[in-house]
């Protein structure tokens, strides 16, 4: 898969990292690889098994076939990089960074999305994926990363705080759940130039 970035030419370094197998807690392993054109049904199965609240802050409804097709097309065109954690033929989680066009005044900025399957939580999948997408972002020349979550997503916040993210904005009543109740949205940010050894695979 050719990956273009908002700042650099396609990065062979990023592509060349995958696939690879990594160990999790409890002796389990997952294979890390990039999202591909044949992954639509796997993504749909993964997304449709998630609690509705996990999908609140996503910009795409990844339970919808056409939305997933768009996501895969964007990955193929280099508008995002998505790393999957595969447990056999099932997706245990993913991390993606969305890139801005080269002409954009936010071309140095990337937005991270990260989700893990319910059965894979507590094993370290999220931290592994976050570390991978951090390294990809640094390689691609991005300078600032953001992540969004609701205040009650304590696990997601802890993962990003471990990696050095800090709260940057709290947007009151910014998201609405399926019951029509609004929630505050937390925006966390990290300057890639300040990456330290707190990032561990």
86: which strand partners? Answer: 31, 91
pLDDT of residue 198: 42
Residue 28 vs residue 11, higher pLDDT: 28
Residue-range domains of the chain with CATH = 12-144 (3.40.630.30)
Estimate the crossing angle of helix 65-77 against helix 40-48, to 10 degrees.
130
Does the pLDDT value for residue 32 go beyond 90?
yes
Instruction: Give Cα 131 distance to the centre of its chain.
Output: 10
The predicted model scores a pTM of 0.80
pLDDT tens-place string over residues 154-186: 878 888 888 888 999 999 988 777 678 888 889
Q: How confident is the model at residue 96 (pLDDT cuts 50, 70, 90)?
A: very high
Does the pLDDT value for residue 109 go beyond 60?
yes
- Of 71, 64, 118, 120, the C-alpha closest to 96 is 71
pLDDT tens-place string over residues 149-159: 888 788 788 88
Within a 13 Å sphere around the CA of 177, how many CA atoms are in the beta-carbon half?
Answer: 13
Q: Strands 144-150 and 109-116, how do they pair?
A: parallel
Q: How confident is the model at residue 23 (pLDDT cuts 50, 70, 90)?
A: very high
pLDDT of residue 176: 78
Q: Which of 8-22, 78-92, 111-125, 159-173 has the lowest mean pLDDT?
A: 8-22
pLDDT of residue 105: 53
Does the pLDDT value for residue 51 go beyond 80?
yes
């Amino acid at each position: 898969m050719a990956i273009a970035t908002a700042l650099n030419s396609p990065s062979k370094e990023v592509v060349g990292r995958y696939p690879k197998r990594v160990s999790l807690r409890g002796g389990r392993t997952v294979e890390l690889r990039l999202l591909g054109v044949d992954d639509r049904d796997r993504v749909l199965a993964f997304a449709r098994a998630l609690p509705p609240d996990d999908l609140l802050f996503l910009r795409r409804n990844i339970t919808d076939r056409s939305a997933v097709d768009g996501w895969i097309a964007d990955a193929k065109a280099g508008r995002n990089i998505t790393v999957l954690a595969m447990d056999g033929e099932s997706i245990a989680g993913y991390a993606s960074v969305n890139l801005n066009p080269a002409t954009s005044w936010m071309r140095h900025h990337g937005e991270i999305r990260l989700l893990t399957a319910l059965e894979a939580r507590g094993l370290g999948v999220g931290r592994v994926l976050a570390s991978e997408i951090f390294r990809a972002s640094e390689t691609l020349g991005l300078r600032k990363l953001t992540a969004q979550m609701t205040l009650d997503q304590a696990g997601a916040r802890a993962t990003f705080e471990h990696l050095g993210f800090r709260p940057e904005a709290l947007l009151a009543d910014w998201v609405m759940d399926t019951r029509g109740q609004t929630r505050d949205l937390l925006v966390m940010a990290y300057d890639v130039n300040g990456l330290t050894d707190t990032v561990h695979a």
